[in-house]
Chains A and B, each alone.
Chain A
Amino acid sequence: MATVHNEIDNWLVADLHGELSADERSALHTHLVDCAGCRKTHQATKLMNKILEETLAQEKPDPVFEQRMLAEFRNRIPQRSGFAKLLADLMHMRAVQIAAVAAILLTLVQVGRMITGENMIAVRDRERYVQAQPAAPQSRVAPSQPAQAGTLAESDELAAGRARGFAPSTPASSLAKEAKNKTESFAQAERTIVTGSNIPTAAEPAPKPAETPAPELANRKLVRNATVELEIVSFDNAVQKITAFANEEHGYVATTDSQKQANGKLRGQVVVKVLPENLDHFLQKVRGLGELKNQTLGTEDVTKAYFDTDARLKNAHVMEQRLIDMLKTKTGKVSDLLQVERELGRVREDIEKMQGELKYWDSQVQFATVTISLAEKDMEEPAAFLLKERSQLALYAPDVEKIYNDVKSLTSQKVQITNAQLNRDYSGRISAQVSVLIAPEESDAVIARVKGLGRVENFQTQTERVAQGGTGMSENAKTKRDKVELNITISREEQEQALQQTSLRIRTSSVDEKAKELRVLAEKEGGRIRNSTFSRDPDGREFANLSLRMPMKNYSVLMQSLNSLGKVENVSVQRQDRTGAQIDEANAPADISIQVYSQGNIVSHESGLLATLRRTLAQSASAIMWSLRMIGVAIAFLAPWVVAIVVIVWITKRAIRARGK
Chain B
Amino acid sequence: MDASEREQYRAAIHGDREAFEMIIRTHSRTLFAIGYGILQNREEAEDVVQDALVKAWKTRWRVREPEKFPAWLAAIARHRAHDVLRRRRTVPFAHETVEISGMEPIDTTAVDQQLHSALAALPELHRAALTLRYFEEMDYRSIENTLGLTNGALRGILGRALASMRKQLRPALVSMD
Chain A interface residues (CB < 8 Å from chain B): 7, 9-14, 17, 19, 44-45, 47-49, 51-53, 55-57, 59-61, 65-66, 68-70, 72-74, 76-77, 79, 85, 88-89, 92, 659-660
Contacts and interface: CB of A to CB of B under 8 A. Distances in A.
A45 B161 CA distance: 11
A48 B176 CA distance: 11
B20 to A, nearest CB: 9
Nearest to A72: B50
15 contacts: A9-B159, A9-B162, A10-B155, A13-B162, A17-B140, A19-B155, A48-B165, A49-B162, A52-B134, A52-B162, A61-B46, A69-B24, A70-B25, A88-B15, A89-B14
Contacts of A79: 17
Given A11-B159, A49-B162, A77-B54, A70 B32 contact: no
Contacts of B156: 7, 10
B163 interface: yes
Nearest to B141: A19
B131 interface: yes
B117 to A, nearest CB: 12
B176 A47 contact: yes
Given A52-B115, A56-B130, A76-B54, 12 more contacts: A12-B159, A13-B159, A14-B140, A17-B133, A47-B173, A52-B134, A52-B165, A55-B111, A55-B112, A55-B115, A61-B32, A65-B46
B160 interface: yes
Given A65-B29, A92-B61, A660-B59, A73 B169 contact: no
Nearest to B40: A59
B42 to A, nearest CB: 7
Interface in B118-177: 130-131, 133-135, 139-140, 155-156, 158-160, 162-163, 165-166, 169-170, 173, 176-177
B7 interface: no
A299 B127 CA distance: 106
B158 A65 contact: no
Given A10-B156, A13-B155, A72-B50, A66 B166 contact: no
Contacts of A660: 55, 58-59
A14 B115 contact: no
A10 B32 CA distance: 25
Given A17-B140, A70-B25, A48 B42 contact: no
Contact of B173 (A11, A44, A76): A44
A34 to B, nearest CB: 20
Interface residues of B, number: 45
A73 B21 contact: yes
B29 A66 contact: yes
B139 A48 contact: no
Contacts of B169: 48, 51
Contact of A65 (B28, B53, B160, B162): B28
Contacts of B28: 65-66, 69-70
The secondary structure that dominates the A interface is helix
Contacts of A10: 155-156, 158-160
Given A61-B32, A88-B15, A660-B55, A9 B134 contact: no
Nearest to B50: A72
A77 B57 contact: yes
Nearest to A7: B159
A79 B17 CA distance: 8
B166 A45 contact: yes
Given A7-B159, A9-B162, A69-B28, A56 B135 contact: yes
A70 B42 CA distance: 17
Given A19-B139, A92-B61, A660-B58, A51 B42 contact: no
Nearest to A80: B17
A49 to B, nearest CB: 7
B38 interface: no
B49 interface: yes
B36 interface: yes
B73 to A, nearest CB: 12
Interface in B36-81: 36, 42, 46, 49-50, 53-55, 57-59, 61
B168 to A, nearest CB: 10
Contacts of B160: 9-10
Interface centre among A72, A73, A660 (most CB of B within 10 A): A73
A643 B130 CA distance: 46
Contacts of A45: 162-163, 166
A52 B130 contact: yes
A38 to B, nearest CB: 12
A66 B57 contact: no
Nearest to B166: A48
A72 B21 CA distance: 11
A9 B61 contact: no
A14 B162 contact: no
Contacts of B173: 44, 47-48, 51
Contacts of A60: 135
A92 B15 contact: yes
B155 A59 contact: no
B134 A89 contact: no
A69 B158 contact: no
A7 B25 CA distance: 37
Nearest to B167: A44
A14 B155 contact: yes
Contacts of A73: 21, 24, 50, 53-54, 57
A12 to B, nearest CB: 7
A47 B167 CA distance: 12
Nearest to A93: B61
A88 B57 CA distance: 12
B59 A66 contact: no
Contact of B50 (A14, A69, A92): A69
A377 to B, nearest CB: 90
> 6 closest A-B pairs (Cβ-Cβ)?
A10-B159, A92-B61, A9-B159, A56-B134, A9-B163, A69-B28
B15 to A, nearest CB: 5
Nearest to B136: A60
Contacts of A69: 24, 28, 46, 49-50, 53
Nearest to A20: B155
A448 to B, nearest CB: 101
A48 B15 CA distance: 44
Nearest to B45: A61
Interface centre among B14, B42, B46, B134 (most CB of A within 10 A): B134
A70 B166 CA distance: 38
Nearest to B62: A660
Contacts of A52: 115, 130, 134, 162, 165
A73 B32 CA distance: 15
A45 B169 CA distance: 11
A433 to B, nearest CB: 88
B150 to A, nearest CB: 13
Given A10-B156, A59-B36, A61-B32, A51 B115 contact: yes
